[in-house]
Amino acid sequence: MSLIVQKFGGSSVADAESIKRVAKRIVDTKKAGNDIVVAVSAMGDSTDELLDLAHEVTPIPAPRELDMLLTAGERISMALLAMAIKSMGYDARSFTGSQAGMITDAQHGAARIVDVTPGRLRDALDEGAIAIVAGFQGFNRDTKDITTLGRGGSDTTAVALAAALGADICEIYTDVDGIFSADPRVVPRAHKLDRVSSEEMLELAAAGAKVLYIRAVEYARRHGVTLHVRSSFNNNTGTIVYNPAAISPYAAAVLNGETVEEPIIAGVAADLSEAKVTVVGVPDIPGKAAQIFKIVAKTNANVDMIVQNVSAASTGLTDISFTLPKSEGQQVLTALTNEQQNVGFAGLQYDDQIGKLALVGAGMRTNTGVSAKLFEALFEAGINIEMISTSEIRISVVTRADTINEALRVVHTAFGLDSDDEAVVHGGTGR
């Protein structure tokens, strides 16, 4: 008998009909002889609706009360799902995050899981029941308050439960067929990946692939949880996200014991949410970069790429550019402007019309010529590269925002990732 954790996103439980459909799916897995723990998101867009409501009441809702409000969304779906399962003659019990033992720190709206004590879930399983857990929420022991894990946090709930219970696999049910080599809405010839390593998935998620939340992937990687990302609208095998060092026998069986060699490239992703700040005319002497990024760090901005140009010998001045989320641009510009005299730079430029493309593949470690091929493909399409950064298994480039989709397509083709037929897009959001 296997223990399976299943997570259903908001789009899979959007209305009563969908909840009944999901209930049937859960019961089928139960009938096949498995123990099941389910993590469920709030129905459809109800979290957004609750957020809107809060902002109609006050422009800045109190964080504690906002968490109280938002956690109600998952409480609704968990109870309805448990009722639906019970009506089919199977025992099911719903649990809030705190009842399920999701212990977090005290940070409202972005709490981190510090411990998972799923005693009540174990008891329910021992008694033959299906345990349904409200996703995205936890409880802090010091403040004794309810917390939320941040948007999309139900993925993390599912992974944390799978880790704590030693589940054989954590199935993430969504409205797309799995992880694709690129966003099929932009690259029609994208193909579904049968499997992707968790380190590749982390890079893809960081680069803008939205199907899985990065914190959940991190958690899965750290705790050796194998994920199966698949559609709740069909029975197809989706994508296995695995840590090669810790692949479970159950996951290996889903993969049919395939031992084909890993492809060099897993996929390509794009991100249009960043902007570029250039600090112009920085004195090229030790300590200036430190000064600048200390100012930036104080704003808590998430700096991604950094490029420093060589200084023209005659001026002794250099330019430093970096990217960061657009939403953090204004506060960083203000902070830098306030310190302009101190640092002694000439000016600031802000560019929010950039796109970032990332090519990801574990095979880059052992294959040369990957970057040359990438640059060549962009050159042939007449796309200018403005910044470049690399990790062991990723190459990222910044281009103009309006060329990013074309860039995705030509790079996808250049690396032989195109499938023979067009991907079927159900208009899903991946949530």
Binding site for ligand ASP (CB under 6 A): 9-10, 41-42, 47, 73, 135-136, 151-154
- Closer residue to Mg ion in complex, CB, 176/268: 176
For the CB of residue 336, give the shortest distance to ligand ASP in the complex, in Å. Answer: 32
For the CB of residue 133, give the shortest distance to Mg ion in the complex, in Å. Answer: 15
The binder of 118, among Mg ion, ligand ASP, none, by C-beta within 5 to 8 A per type, is none
Decide if 166 contacts 3 (C-beta within 8 A).
yes
* Number of Cβ within a 10 Å radius of residue 130: 26
Q: Shortest Cβ contact with Mg ion: which residue?
A: 10
Q: What DSSP string runs through 283-340?
A: E-STTHHHHHHHHHHHTT-----EEEPPPBTTTTEEEEEEEEEGGGHHHHHHHHHHTH
Which of 18, 29, 34, 41 lies at the binding interface for Mg ion (CB under 5 A)?
41
- Closer residue to ligand ASP in complex, CB, 71/239: 71
Decide if 159 contacts 136 (C-beta within 8 A).
no
Eight-class DSSP state of 149: -
For the CB of residue 176, give the shortest distance to ligand ASP in the complex, in Å. Answer: 15
For the CB of residue 120, give the shortest distance to ligand ASP in the complex, in Å. Answer: 21
- Our finding on whether 157 is near Mg ion (CB under 5 A) is no
Distance separating alpha carbons of residues 58 and 53, to the nearest angstrom: 9
Q: Can you tell me which residue has the tokens 């998972």?
A: 116
For the CB of residue 70, give the shortest distance to ligand ASP in the complex, in Å. Answer: 7
- Our finding on whether 10 is near Mg ion (CB under 5 A) is yes
- Closer residue to Mg ion in complex, CB, 55/365: 55
- Which stretch in 34-42, 88-96, 183-191, 371-379 sits in contact with Mg ion by CB under 5 A? 34-42
The binder of 136, among Mg ion, ligand ASP, none, by C-beta within 5 to 8 A per type, is ligand ASP
Q: CB within 8 A of 11, min separation 6: which ones? A: 44, 174, 175, 428, 429, 431
Distance separating alpha carbons of residues 136 and 104, to the nearest angstrom: 11
- Taken as a whole, the chain contains a residue count of 431
What residues make contact with Mg ion under the rule CB under 5 A?
10, 41
Binding-site residue numbers for substrate are 47, 74
